[in-house]
Amino acid sequence: MTTTHDLIIFGGNAGGLSAATLARRAGLERVRIIESGTVVGIPDVIGEHGLDVGYGETVTAIDVDTDGNLVVSTGRQTYTAPAVLVAQRKSAVDWTPSVPTFSGERILVDRIPESPNDVDVLVVGHTDHAVELTAQLADQGAGVVLAAGPMDPSLLSPMAEALLQKIEHERQATLLYRSVPTRISEVDGLPMVDFGDRRTPDLQFDHVVFSSGRHALSPADVGATETAVASGRLWFMGEEDETADGIPTAPSWRVGRDLLERCFPDLELPAPAPSAERRREFPGVIEELRREHYNATITHFEPTHSDLWVLRIKPDHGSVSHLPGQYASLGLGYWEARIDDAVDPEIDERWEKLIRRSYSISHRIFDDNGYLANEAEADELEFYIVLVPPTDDNIPGLTPRLALKRPGDRIYLGPKVAGRYTLAPVTDPRDTVILLSTGTGEAPQNAMITELLRKGHRGPIVSAVSVRQWADLGYINQHRELEERYPNYHYLPMPTREPDVPKRYIQDLISNDVFATEFDVKLDSESTHVFLCGNPAMIGLPTDVDGELTYPEVTGVVELLAARGFTLDHRNQRGNVHYEEYW
């Protein structure tokens, strides 16, 4: 049986679907998609755009008939059409990741794990296929992080770009646009991913899925004759924006438009999306961008002073469930006003994009009734954020815009990322817990302290925080109240620039045995956990070269504790010194 169509597309992936929907919008009624599998890359598109799909079919031959039309044969039937697009990807049989990794069932290429519900999966890739894999995992209930690295959303196919925006808007996955793994090691049988970037700490997943990228089929793969190739009406979705060996090719983000312009010159195609520069001139564009990108509302914004705020954010979708000490990402658009006069680098290219930064989640210490807050029952997240001023070397993007926001304003909130700075190592309620922080590094400590006390921790808990001035202590009154209620809790605020307060730093607390002399709390490496959050100079992490540790020139807390028999957390072995650097 032979059926006649206006356009045949082999491959129901995002690129093929983008070309099909554009053709329908341009007026082609008989567009047929041939899909070798049982489902297309974005199933919702089929019904929404009334697309015609033949599932379970594979193209075996393409030739030209006496009328000049292309004849496409599959294992089931024959089609004729003036033009054909081959969007199907070639299986990357010999492809291997460029990232050093281990082999095994936890590392997958171009396929998702079986039964991914409620497991953590990292997808690595920057093409349409990476977005499709991410969407499949999210739809099946996985906790997904997409390490997109060099991804430029504008170079995805229109359908993949829209899908990516939906995934992000509905908090179905965490997107890391600037991060790619530098190493993947096996820890306790699971992949531990090192991003080689302080902005993205090491994360552990149940599986890592690599998207191997774009691999176009060749004429031989679909049985195309030389006559079919020479017709100029057989197109291939390729990696580059060029024509090779006389075969019309184009990348997924424009292949549909190129094909239609060449093969159907009388069609009136929908206008392409305006450039960012042109779009800036449109009335109401900022409100439109906010609707597109923001997925949460600021419900509380309380300045401790002009440059330091406690804020709460409630998402439109998804859970706010997290462990004390973990973090989430916040985002605002470059289109938002700044509180200062600094000019963002490359603002014209970035104007329509989001600025994302990760912040540790803080914690309400008391609820509205005066009891210890139970954030497990909350529907919003609390953050403790300081304004970062511009310098010659750094123009911060997010906090100068956040400074102008107030309750009721919209913002972007990313899904939970399972940070490893948690209370998991504290298993004995009699242990001593020391929490040391600088500035807003106090945020995750607030969550940890409240959780420990709420669950009846009996051992000593000491929280010491170093700031410049008393005004920089946004939670001091709540901590003082905790001291009155719980005899095992001690709070030690340390302003370094107040004239009536002797200057001392976090390291001095260790060197001078302050915990023992002021609170009768001993630093016993057998029964003490120390949590460090904030300035990397305070923490003082060593570098490991061939098994030999080298500490920074300025002595940090880690070196002082190591001299007392404490051990630092490592990938393969839990220690009793735990840390989270803040920049």
Asked if the structure places residue 7 within a domain, the reply is yes
Among 427-441, 469-483, 562-576, the range scoring the smallest mean pLDDT is 562-576
**385, 413, 441 - which closes a domain:** 413
CATH of the domain at 347: 2.40.30.10
Q: By the 8 A CB rule, do 290 and 401 touch? A: no
Full-model pTM = 0.84
Residue range 365-394: mean pLDDT, rounded = 91
pLDDT of 211 > 70? The answer is yes
Strand partners, 435: 463, 531
Q: Both 396 and 542 in a single domain?
A: no
Residue numbers of the domain that contains 123: 107-210
pLDDT, one tens digit per residue, over 342-378 is 999 988 888 988 999 889 999 999 998 999 998 878 8
Question: In the structure encoding, which two tokens stand for residue 420, read together?
Answer: 């490893």
Categorize the per-residue pLDDT at 71 as very low, low, confident or very high, splitting at 50, 70 and 90: very high
- Residue 535 corresponds to which amino acid? N
Mean pLDDT of 560-581: 87
Claim to verify: residue 223 and residue 200 sit in the same structural domain = no
Instruction: Note the maximum CA span of the chain.
Output: 98
Number of domains the chain is built from: 4
Give the pLDDT of residue 135: 95
* C-alpha radius of gyration, the chain, whole number: 28
What pLDDT sits at residue 199? 65
In a domain, 473, yes or no: yes
**Residue 278: its H or E element:** helix 276-279
Tell me what pLDDT residue 248 has: 87
Query: What's the average model confidence in pLDDT over 44-51?
Result: 86
- Verify that 119 and 45 share a domain, yes or no: no
**Confidence class for position 392, pLDDT limits 50, 70, 90:** confident
Question: Do 85 and 232 fall within a single domain?
Answer: yes
Co-location of 67 and 167 in the same domain? no
Judged against a pLDDT cut of 60, whether residue 244 lies above it is answered with no
Residue 243 predicted with pLDDT over 70: no
Residue 21's CB: how many other CB atoms inside 10 A?
19
The mean pLDDT value for 465-485 works out to 96
- Name which of 50-64, 183-197, 458-472 the model is least confident about: 183-197
For residues 499 and 550, state if they share a domain: yes
pLDDT of residue 439: 95
Rounded Cα distance between 554 and 334, Å, is 37
Domain boundary among 165, 195, 210: 210
Q: Tell whether 272 is covered by a domain.
A: no
Asked if residue 473 and residue 348 are part of one domain, the reply reads no
**Same domain (yes/no): 472, 573:** yes
Report DSSP state, residue 90.
Answer: P
pLDDT(583) > 80: no
Q: Tell me phi and psi for residue 132, to 5 degrees.
A: -60, -45
CATH code of 21's domain: 3.50.50.60
Q: Is the pLDDT of residue 291 over 90?
A: yes
Which pLDDT belongs to residue 348? 86
| Residue 423 is assigned to a structural domain of this protein | no
Q: Is residue 206 part of a domain?
A: yes
Model confidence band, residue 241 (pLDDT cutoffs 50, 70, 90): low
Instruction: Report H helices in 61-157.
Output: 128-139
Q: Which two tokens stand for residue 552?
A: 């920074």
CA-CA distance, 352 to 334, in Å (whole number)?
A: 6
- Where in 523-582 does DSSP place strands (E)? 528-534, 543-545, 548-550, 577-581
Please give the angle made by the CA atoms of 45, 48 and 53, to the nearest 5 degrees.
55
**165 shares a domain with 141:** yes
Query: Distance (Å, rounded) from C-alpha 361 to C-alpha 319?
Result: 14
Confidence of residue 90 (pLDDT cuts 50, 70, 90): confident
Domain end residue (candidates: 413, 442, 471): 413
66 and 116: one domain?
A: no
> DSSP of 479-515, one letter per residue?
HHHHHHH-TTEEEEEEESS-TTS----HHHHHHTTHH
| Summary mean pLDDT of the chain | 91
Q: Is 98 part of a structural domain of the chain? A: no
Is pLDDT larger for residue 157 or for residue 277?
A: 157
- Whole-angstrom CA distances from 356 to 329, 386, 412 are 6, 15, 8
Question: What average pLDDT score do residues 330-339 get?
Answer: 96
How far is residue 475 from each of residues 46, 82, 364, 465, 481, measured CA to CA in Å? 53, 70, 9, 11, 10
Give the C-alpha separation, 77 to 70, whole Å: 14
To the nearest 10°, report the CA torsion of 540, 544, 549, 552: -30
Helix and strand numbers (H, E) in the chain are 16, 31
Residues 566 and 446 in one domain: yes
Q: Do the strands 59-64 and 52-55 form a parallel or antiparallel pair, or are they unpaired? A: unpaired
Same-domain pairing of 475 and 561:
yes
Is 258 among the domain residues? yes
Q: CA-CA distance, 354 to 186, in Å (whole number)?
A: 33
Least confident range of 333-342, 409-418, 555-564? 409-418
Percent of the chain with pLDDT over 70: 96
pLDDT above 90 for 120? yes
3-state helix, strand, coil in the chain (%, to 5): 25, 30, 50
Residue 29, domain member (yes or no): yes
Structure tokens, 153:
């959303």
Which of 46-72 are b and which e, b meaning 16 or more Cβ less than 10 Å from the residue's Cβ? beebebebbeebebeebbbeeeebbbb
Check residue 278 and give its pLDDT. Answer: 64
462 — pLDDT class (breaks 50, 70, 90): very high
